[in-house]
A = this chain, B = another copy of it.
Amino acid sequence: MIFIALWGLLSFPGLAGYGQVERRLGDAFYVVPLGVKGGLDESNLSAYLVATKGNYDYVCLDAGTLRFGLQKAADSGLFDEAPGFQGQNPGHGPRDRPGADFVMRHFIKAYLISHPHLDHIAGLIINSPEDSAKNIYGLSFCLEVLRDHYFTWKTWANFGDQGDRPALGKYHYAPLTAGQETAIAHTPLFVTAFPLSHSKPNQSTAFLLRSGDAYLLYLGDTGADQVEESDKLRQLWTSIAPLIRAGKLRALFIEVSYPNAQPQKSLFGHLTPRLLDRELIKLDSLAGKGSLKGFPILVTHIKPSGDHEATIKEELAAENPLGVQWIFPEQAKALSF
């Protein structure tokens, strides 16, 4: 066991380095997954930091798990080269290495929340006492639930700037208008929100991030149009197809919560590998047949029950009619697009 481990380290020294990017697919966006699973494991719930490459002004896409993921990323050295933290971080980790609190307070500049299910916002709420002031962006349906159910004095302190009095105002609710691009304050990023259907009539959100001429698309939890009796995904695909055709979309994050065997009545607004394939075929048609070949699709929100993770990976690999590049993000392993 020890020999195998040593052999591993010696044979692939590049894999043992700190702060490295696992996959180098592009140079526009830097992504640090803080949590990737679809529920249950409190230490690894949906949350993804995104910044422009070489920049430390991050947005956080959903915030199911913050601190545990931030600490793991910080301990891996992912933020070691950030400017301005030296000496400002007493008691947090090794000398000259920023800890989770520091990264949260200084490098996360905004949250973008897709929908108000607890596995997408628990980390934000639980860490709010130690957080710094910033904006929470989302569609109104989502921000209203944060205001009326989570940041109320009945359930927590009200760190928002609306709702139950006194409103402490640490967080500013910044509602997005669907389809309209908005600048994300204190970052060089822009976002456009698109509504999704997540177990009708519940809603969710896709966020299209833009940095200059490069785009990244993140979908919160969503069901397939056919199952949801909705056209929300078709509308989204229609909007982003020109970006794929023009080679401007760098990657797409989308959920696959359940394996193909999950009965339709028990999908609860989620996708399976087969349902995702069908949706991507529609997108491929709109963008131009074959345009998704080799395209990076980040598979998020696999529900960690039984052997779901292995089954979903097998099923995605076995079908994949478009030849997309499936990427399975891992907590605290950085990616570039």
Tell me the A residues contacting B by CB distance below 8 Å: 2, 39-43, 45, 65-68, 71, 90-92, 101, 116-119, 122-123, 125-127, 129-130, 145, 149-150, 152-157, 202, 268, 305-307
Check if A156 sits within 8 Å of B118, measured CB to CB: yes
Check if B42 sits within 8 Å of A126, measured CB to CB: yes
Residues of B within 8 A of A305 (CB): 101, 130
Given contacts A2-B2, A43-B43, A122-B126, could you give 6 more A-B pairs where the C-beta distance is less than 8 Å?
Answer: A40-B67, A116-B154, A118-B122, A145-B155, A149-B154, A149-B155
Check if B130 sits within 8 Å of A125, measured CB to CB: no
Given contacts A101-B305, A117-B156, A122-B122, contact A40 B90 (CB under 8 A): no
- Please measure, in the bound complex, the distance between the C-alpha atom of A152 and the C-alpha atom of B2, giving whole angstroms: 50
Residues of B within 8 A of A71 (CB): 41
Check if B91 sits within 8 Å of A68, measured CB to CB: no
> Which residue of chain B has its CB nearest to the CB of A305?
B130
Partner of A126, one of B39, B91, B152, B156: B39
Partner of A155, one of B90, B129, B150: B150
- Please measure, in the bound complex, the distance between the C-alpha atom of A71 and the C-alpha atom of B42, giving whole angstroms: 11
Shortest Cβ gap from A269 to chain B (Å): 10
Residues of B within 8 A of A119 (CB): 126
- Please measure, in the bound complex, the distance between the C-alpha atom of A202 and the C-alpha atom of B152, giving whole angstroms: 12
Q: Which 9 residue pairs across A and B have the least CB separation, nearest first?
A: A43-B43, A91-B306, A91-B307, A43-B68, A149-B149, A42-B42, A122-B122, A149-B155, A42-B65
